[in-house]
């Protein structure tokens, strides 16, 4: 699975992050819109009226909160979460925000011998190698002289070509990028070869080198994105426990509601990378789009790898549902490489099934009829 032209996928993501191309070029659909901050403000105003908070309050209510939408190239960072001696997105962003910290907090940090940095919250922490196109984070300060353009310039100058601000907006204090989010959208791009067939060495890696399982599994057949689409489609509209598809999570989170996710949209299709032209043709890839209220650690990558494995083995359409009742995570495949994964956007209003990169069959059929008309 790793021995594929992943660099072409990384190059495509880099071009999208830098605004040289867009996902609409990949799917031939309209580009997804930037977040509507007006709706966030409206929802937050309702929350404030319930809690009795007003704009003219002082003290802790006087602070100013900023919502920042970021794009960054996964191959250039060691993930989002700040860690010592690693090049992380959070570390870079918070260092850039240090110049906007209020005097009281700056003095407190200086007295403790700590660097003067901002403190950010994020919608979802991405792993090393994972790209984001509309990651959402927030930052607050008690300073009143901070301008939106100053925040944008500070972050953009930190890592040109690797990290880019899509938008900055002042939002109500009650806004939190994680807790206020209603859904997240991920895209996984998997490079395909002409006449794609899943060879035994690849199947072995997907089965985590389990010799007994290799002997009992059906031999792989022609690998088709349409079969992966059928498998993933069974997840739509269901609240299910994805504990078998998670990795690196604590045992206490392996049972009950903490493992449950509601998948709004799960689709796969073939596409051509527009930025990797070769002899007049692009690179054929399989794209997987997943939208859910939340995702567990490495859940998307395990779902992609497992659906590819099961599609190649000719599994029944409900195989992913059956694997959720397994007693060991070895029943699901090891995570697919992080290079293909991208956090596309985060939603703060109800999910609109019409606003998808990969439409459902009924939506595609309707679009076809509209074109004929």
44-92: per-residue pLDDT in tens? Answer: 554 454 344 445 555 656 789 999 999 999 999 999 999 999 999 999 9
Which structure tokens are listed for 268? 């796969």
CATH code, domain with 155: 3.30.70.580
Q: What is the pLDDT of residue 10?
A: 94
Active site residue 210: no
Task: Indicate whether 212 and 120 sit together in one domain.
Answer: no
Which run of H or E residues covers position 137? strand 131-141
- Alpha-carbon separation of residue 354 from 31, 134, 201 (angstroms): 13, 19, 39
Show the domain range for 307.
183-348
Q: Is residue 176 part of a domain?
A: no
Residue 145 has pLDDT above 60, yes or no: yes
**Cα separation of 257 and 263, whole Å?**
14
The pLDDT value recorded for residue 194 is: 62
pLDDT, one tens digit per residue, over 298-324 is 999 999 999 999 999 999 999 999 999
- So what's the pLDDT on residue 196? 58
Looking at every residue in the chain, the average pLDDT score rounds to: 84
How far apart are alpha carbons 31 and 92 in whole angstroms? 28
**End position of a domain, from candidates 171, 204, 223:** 171
Q: What is the DSSP string of 237-301?
A: TEEEE-GGG--S--GGGSSSGGGEEEEEEEEEEEEEEEEEEETTEEEEEEEEEEEES---TTHHH
Q: What is the CATH number of the domain that holds 233?
A: 3.30.70.660
- In terms of pLDDT, which residue wins out, 369 or 67? 67
Residue 369 has pLDDT above 60, yes or no: no
**Number of domains comprising the chain:** 2
Cβ-contact 314, 230 below 8 angstroms? no
Please check whether residue 185 is in contact with residue 292, taking contact to mean a CB–CB distance below 8 angstroms.
no
Q: What is the pLDDT of residue 99?
A: 94
Looking at the fold, whether 111 and 164 belong to one and the same domain comes out as yes
Helix (H) or strand (E) holding 345: strand 341-347
pLDDT of residue 109 exceeding 60, the answer is yes
Residue 139 lies in a domain: yes
pLDDT tens per residue across span 160-212? 999 999 999 999 999 999 999 999 999 999 998 765 544 444 444 454 444 44
pLDDT value at residue 248? 84
**Which run of H or of E encompasses 69?**
strand 64-72
Rounded mean pLDDT of 263-270?
Answer: 96
Q: Would you say residue 369 lies in a domain?
A: no
- Let me know whether 315 and 195 are in one domain: yes
Residue 252 pLDDT level (bands cut at 50, 70, 90): low
Catalytic residue among 45, 78, 102, 127: 127
pLDDT given at position 28: 72
Q: 218 and 133: one domain?
A: no
DSSP states along 170-236: EE-TT--TTTT--EEEEEEEEE--TT-B--HHHHHHHTTT-HHHHHHSPPP-B--HHHHHHHHHTTT
Predicted TM-score (pTM) of this structure:
0.86
- Who has greater pLDDT, 146 or 200? 146
Q: Judge if 134 and 218 occupy the same domain.
A: no
CA separation, residue 271 to residues 17, 82, 111, 192, 363 (Å): 19, 35, 55, 10, 18
Three-state helix/strand/coil letters over 313-366: CCCCCCHHHHHCCCCCHHHCCCCCCHHHEEEEEEECCCCCCCCCCCCCHHHHHH
Give the largest Cα separation in the chain, rounded: 70
As a whole number, mean pLDDT of residues 22-37 equals: 70
């Amino acid at each position: 699975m790793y021995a594929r032209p992943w660099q072409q996928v990384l190059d495509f993501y880099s071009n999208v992050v830098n605004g040289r191309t867009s996902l609409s070029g990949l799917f031939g659909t309209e580009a997804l819109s930037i977040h509507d901050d007006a709706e966030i403000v409206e929802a937050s105003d309702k929350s404030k009226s319930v809690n009795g908070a007003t704009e003219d309050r002082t003290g802790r209510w006087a602070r100013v909160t900023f919502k920042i939408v970021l794009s960054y190239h996964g191959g250039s960072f060691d993930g989002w979460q700040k860690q010592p001696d690693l090049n992380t997105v959070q570390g870079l962003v918070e260092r850039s925000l240090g110049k906007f910290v209020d005097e009281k907090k700056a003095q407190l940090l200086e007295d403790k011998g700590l660097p003067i940095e901002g403190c950010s919250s994020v919608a979802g922490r991405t792993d090393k190698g994972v790209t984001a196109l509309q990651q959402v984070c927030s930052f607050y300060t008690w300073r009143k002289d901070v301008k939106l353009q100053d925040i944008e310039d500070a972050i953009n100058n930190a890592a040109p070509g690797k990290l880019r601000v899509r938008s900055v907006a002042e939002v109500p204090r009650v806004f939190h990028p994680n807790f206020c989010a209603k859904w997240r959208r991920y895209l996984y791009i998997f490079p395909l070869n002409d006449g794609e067939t899943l060879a035994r060495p690849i199947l072995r890696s997907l089965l985590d080198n389990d010799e007994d399982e290799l002997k009992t599994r059906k031999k792989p057949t022609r690998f088709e994105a349409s079969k992966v689409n059928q498998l993933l489609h069974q997840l739509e509209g269901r609240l299910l426990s994805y504990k078998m598809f998670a990795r690196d999570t604590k045992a206490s989170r392996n049972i009950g509601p903490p493992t449950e996710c509601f998948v709004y949209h799960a689709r796969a299709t073939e596409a051509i990378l527009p930025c990797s032209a070769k002899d007049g043709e692009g690179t054929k890839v399989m794209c997987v789009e997943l939208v859910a209220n939340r995702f567990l650690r490495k859940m998307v990558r395990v779902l992609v790898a497992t659906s590819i494995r099961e599609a190649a083995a000719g599994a029944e359409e409900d195989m992913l549902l059956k694997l959720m009742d397994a007693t060991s995570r070895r029943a699901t495949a090891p995570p697919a490489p992080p290079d293909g994964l991208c956090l596309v956007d985060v939603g703060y209003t109800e999910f609109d099934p019409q606003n998808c990169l990969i439409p459902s069959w009924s939506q595609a059929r309707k679009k076809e009829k509209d074109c004929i008309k």
